[in-house]
Chain A
Amino acid sequence: MPQWTRTIDRASAAAAAVRPHKRAKWNRTEFWMLLPSMIVLALISIFPFFFMIYASLMDYSLSLDEPVFAGLDNWRRILTSETFWHSWGRTAVFGVSGLVLQLAVGVLVALLMYYIPKGRNLILTLWMLPLFVAPVVAGLLWKYLLDPTYGLYDWVLKQFGLNTQILGDVSTAMPAIILMDIWEWTPLITLIVLAGLQSVPTEPLEAAEVDGASGLQKIRYILLPMVRRMIVVSLLIRSMDILRYVDTITITTEGGPADSTKTIGYYLMQVAFRFQDMGTAAALGLTMLVVTIIMGNFFVKIMKKGED
């Protein structure tokens, strides 16, 4: 047996002998260092999660002294409720159309800004202004702009002979809500994608230039593939947000007219705070959690696929 293999064997044996002791010591240190975070995590995340599961199995109305065990009643009620399924349907319409449009506009604006030689910072700052507006304030802003009595946009539309009540008509209320979301959150996608574009190395672009690639070809074959992960990250963030989009709906339409803007988030809020039925609200919240996890995993898989 060569000398070097014997040396390795001895080292391995020594390491094997030492490993259990070192591992245990490391575990204890790791445990004590992680403990504060775990306690905080338990308080703010894990405990509420288990409490939600508990609440979803209880008749938990705020007008009752103590919650009463209800088995799967809350789950049966929501799963057989057409309001529940219709709310999910509207959420899907709102979410998918919102995400697609935000992605298209967000990436387009990011590319335009990437190519702007001067004044990029100024334009970017102006473009990002809606991001700084709280959703409630954004709701109030749009409500006033579209108000049929004194709204500026409503007045402009009337000058063109369009006498539609944007927020008071079943055919226009949902598109209006989607546009409000696009107005407020597209800049976030632009910001993330632009950050990705600016970190793309110049060498591949220069090489493509030498090879005679057109501007569109450079975008199609170099820039977009290289910012793919950024796009997926921005979609991941927005898809989670979009499920919880209730502030603006609450301020503008309150789920109407004729339930046309009642998304699952608004429905949950109504059940929790208007009906004060925390048990059913917990069950609704858990369905949202499941969908969020599925969506999150979907986007993470897309991201990993790109890495492979």
Chain B
Amino acid sequence: MKRKFSPLSAVSIVMVCVMLALSACSSSSNSPGQASAPSASAATTPAGGTASGATSEAPFEGWVEGLPKIEAPAGFNWRQFEGTKLNFISENTPPSSALAANIRIFEDATGIEVNIEQSNLDLVAEKVGLDFNAKNANYQIIYADPYQILTKHSRNLVDLNTFNNDPSLPHIPGGTEDFIESQLQADGYMGDTEHLYTLPYDSPTMVLAYRKDVFDKYKDQFMKEKGYDWTPSANLTWEQYYEIASWINEKVKAGVITEVKYGSGHEAKQHDALQCDFSNVLGAYGADYFEGENLGSVGAAKPGKSLLTSPEAIEAAKMYKKLLEVAAPGSTTWDWTGVAEAFAAGELAMAPIFHENNAMFEDETKSKVAGKVAWSVLPKGPKRSANLFGGTGIGISKYASEKEQKAAWLFLVWATSPQAQYMILKSKEAGSTPTRHSVYNLPDVQKGMEPGTEESKAMPNLLPMKAVLEAWKLENVYMRPKVPQWPQVDTIIYTELSKMLFNKQSPEDTMKTIAKKSDEITGA
């Protein structure tokens, strides 16, 4: 008997074939066209140099006396990867804009073409996640935010020790010890210090920006009424900050103070920024998010139980709510960009702000406060001053071909080198402040930290650096927990805090809710 040809079964067969073909494509993680990453090495990172000791200088312009040089083994051909195209995905940050503007230096010297794609951080994390999941390497060079990307995807990044220990390749100029250690730990490692996944690239840190003109002008009046010097310094407390903000608000209403509209402003939009802003107060009160150790430095897969039900955390939440009650009403719509723009518009007398915004503040075309801004570490709580570090490193996708990985390594060596960091600092785009000790030791960089100098005008992001260097001290810096569940936990934190700010729940209940939901996510 002849079997009938049913259209339905034919369509089913076609669909099954298509599904199988697609599944096969998606699961072919080690197809011949995709070279796997070189095996990771657990060796420690050398300071540079080669086994034979013979080196040749790199052909990049921009080196100045006093900085470690970019060097390669003798006879190294810097153009051996000529024609390679690399895609670098980065958050839209000043250093990446500065690097993009000066990428010709690297491309001319190596013949490697680098396309720098910039987006907001959420989009970067999304694109990187999808790229890694598909094992594609559409992006060979990754701006690996320690909290959103590195924690989840460290195993998709090449262990950079492999290249740094390879005698046939250039090494990190000045060695890893030239990086600021706490930043290298936070940006570069995940779980342990055996594998180096990224090199520190930028270093935004939250410190207190304040209007020097306002604080100078009304200093005596405040002193007379309140009995203490209100100039922000390491001795200022969050209680005093609250008192100062309230006092300025009163005087603005009374028409006494006309230079600003509000005493303080915060980045309190329902956004990652709100968690960052709150973390400064949380750390100052001696509290933290989880009980695990070293979460802020190398991080861990399991953070342990939430600590947010501690009395310190609840006190911090109460204080944070109090601070927002007197802050500019726009605070609940501002993320880190919004609060900086409001400060630049001359609305605020003081605000915790990422220090790299000083370039905007000192640019008269974008700011009404040029020449009027000073910086201090953030106020302290009962325990300490806690200043949130928001830096990031750059790494290489494991799914890039071997040739692309090596070309990307040359880019990393250059982009994170002291001379490139110095170039970024001096660029017209007023890029990031360096992640290298050696750059801060340069005489003109030292001078640039002093207000009114020519160097400070040429490198405006140096003006907050005295406060920032103080903030980077281990006793002052606050590093968020590096755990793979952070994006979910972060969302819970800022969502519940936002509810607290609108009186939907008390500070105690907010902390309890965050703790409960965080523990559910981390499995503690």
Residues of A within 8 A of B (CB): 27-28, 30-31, 34-35, 38-39, 42-43, 46-47, 50-51, 62-63, 65-66, 147-150, 163, 165, 167-170, 253-259, 270, 273-276
Contact = CB atoms under 8 A, between A and B. Distances in A.
B344 to A, nearest CB: 9
Contacts of A169: 332, 502
Contacts of A39: 14, 18
Contacts of B334: 148, 168
A72 to B, nearest CB: 17
B122 A47 contact: no
Q: Count chain A CB atoms within 10 A of each CB in B129, B130, B270 and give the residue with the most.
A: B270
A149 B498 contact: no
Interface in B273-307: none
Nearest to A276: B129
Interface string B1-38: 00001010011001100110010000101000000000
Contact of B122 (A51, A63, A273): A273
Contacts of A28: 5
A16 to B, nearest CB: 20
Contacts of B499: 258-259
A274 B491 contact: yes
Q: Count chain A CB atoms within 10 A of each CB in B5, B133, B487 and give the residue with the most.
A: B133
A258 B270 CA distance: 7
B498 A42 contact: no
Nearest to A27: B7
Nearest to B27: A66
Given A275-B487, A276-B129, A165 B495 contact: no
Contacts of B22: 47
Interface of B: 5, 7, 10-11, 14-15, 18-19, 22, 27, 29, 122, 125-126, 129-130, 132-133, 152-153, 269-271, 328-334, 338, 341-342, 345, 347, 484, 487-488, 491, 495, 498-499, 501-502, 504
A270 B491 contact: yes
Contacts of A65: 29
Nearest to B18: A42
Contacts of B126: 273-274, 276
Given A42-B18, A257-B269, A150 B7 contact: no
A253 B498 CA distance: 12
Contacts of A31: 7, 10
25 contacts: A27-B7, A31-B7, A47-B15, A62-B130, A62-B132, A63-B484, A66-B27, A148-B334, A149-B341, A149-B345, A168-B329, A168-B331, A170-B504, A254-B271, A256-B270, A257-B270, A257-B332, A257-B501, A257-B502, A258-B499, A258-B501, A259-B270, A274-B487, A274-B491, A276-B126
A276 B152 contact: yes
A253 B7 CA distance: 50
B333 A150 contact: no
Contacts of A273: 122, 125-126, 129
A257 B500 CA distance: 10
B487 A168 contact: no
Contacts of A253: 270
Contacts of B10: 31, 35
A148 B329 contact: yes
Nearest to A253: B270
Given A148-B329, A149-B341, A256-B270, A47 B130 contact: no
Q: Count chain B CB atoms within 10 A of each CB in A42, A148, A163 and give the residue with the most.
A: A148
B332 A168 contact: yes
Contact of B491 (A47, A149, A275): A275
Contacts of B487: 274-276
A258 B498 contact: yes
Contacts of B130: 62
B18 A47 contact: yes
Contacts of A259: 270, 495, 498-499
A165 B329 contact: yes
Contacts of B342: 148-149
A274 B122 CA distance: 7
Contacts of A167: 333
B413 to A, nearest CB: 28
B330 A168 contact: yes
B474 to A, nearest CB: 30
Nearest to B500: A258
Contact of B329 (A63, A163, A170): A163
A94 to B, nearest CB: 17
Contact of A62 (B19, B129, B329, B491): B129
Contacts of A170: 502, 504
A138 B133 CA distance: 32
A47 to B, nearest CB: 6
B341 A150 contact: yes
A23 to B, nearest CB: 12
Contacts of A66: 27
Contacts of A147: 333, 338
Contacts of A38: 11, 14
Nearest to B131: A62
B498 A257 contact: yes
Contacts of B7: 27, 30-31, 34
Nearest to A24: B4
Nearest to B330: A148
Closest 5 CB pairs of A and B: A256-B270, A148-B330, A168-B333, A168-B332, A62-B129
Q: Count chain A CB atoms within 10 A of each CB in B10, B269, B332 and give the residue with the most.
A: B332
B136 to A, nearest CB: 12
Contacts of A149: 330, 338, 341-342, 345, 347
Given A62-B133, A257-B498, A47 B19 contact: yes
A115 B488 CA distance: 55
Contacts of A51: 19
